[in-house]
Amino acid sequence: MFTIGLTGNISCGKSSISKILASRGAVIIDADLLSREIYDYEDVLGEMRSSFPESIIDGKIDRKILGSIVFSDKTRLSDLNRISHKKIHELVCQALENNKDEDLVVVDAALLLEAKFDSLVDKVVLVYCDEEKQVVRLINRDSISREDALKRIESQMSQEEKKKMADYLVDNSGDMESLECEVEKLIKKIRKWMCEGEGKEVKG
């Protein structure tokens, strides 16, 4: 099994790359999807009741309320990350074990680097884009104000910092056709890594 960590800040196009890789045979472990499921686990709900009681409505997490809390307060965002990253890490490890006989597995995670999930993969691929395009895409995607879009973007590690930590960069500042060309280059690079045996011997 060769593992790729695919990451990128909000509205940079990570999901589009993930879909293309899936269409080419890669197994995708969607950590962002797993993050939406963690609140169904009683151990996580117990911690959320203690740390974010105002976000719980009728016994369930209201994600809109939770978002309004953490995107305005970095301390509380850190509290949420402490709770969520631990569970997501556990679920990603389970998924990797379940797919250990596959040739190529992609861990698709927006917070791959912040959560230190890069220790679970062989190579890190970062998708990035022009920052103004990122803002406009986020406003259009989520129908939010520019102020709210900037808050969400600023809550993440900067693209420049992530570039320093990645093994491969994909520029998604253009259109879909340009992105598909960039992903073809990425696929060739992944094949080269796999042929050269650049995977880690031990995951941890």
pLDDT tens per residue across span 99-153: 999 999 999 998 899 999 999 999 999 999 998 998 999 999 999 999 999 988 8
61-107 per-position pLDDT tens digit: 998 899 889 988 889 999 999 999 999 999 999 999 999 999 999 99
Fold topology of 2-195: Rossmann fold (3.40.50)
Nearest to 125 by CA among 144, 112, 138: 112
Alpha-carbon gap, residue 116 to 77, rounded angstroms:
16
Question: pTM (2 decimals)?
Answer: 0.84
At 172 the three-state DSSP class reads: coil
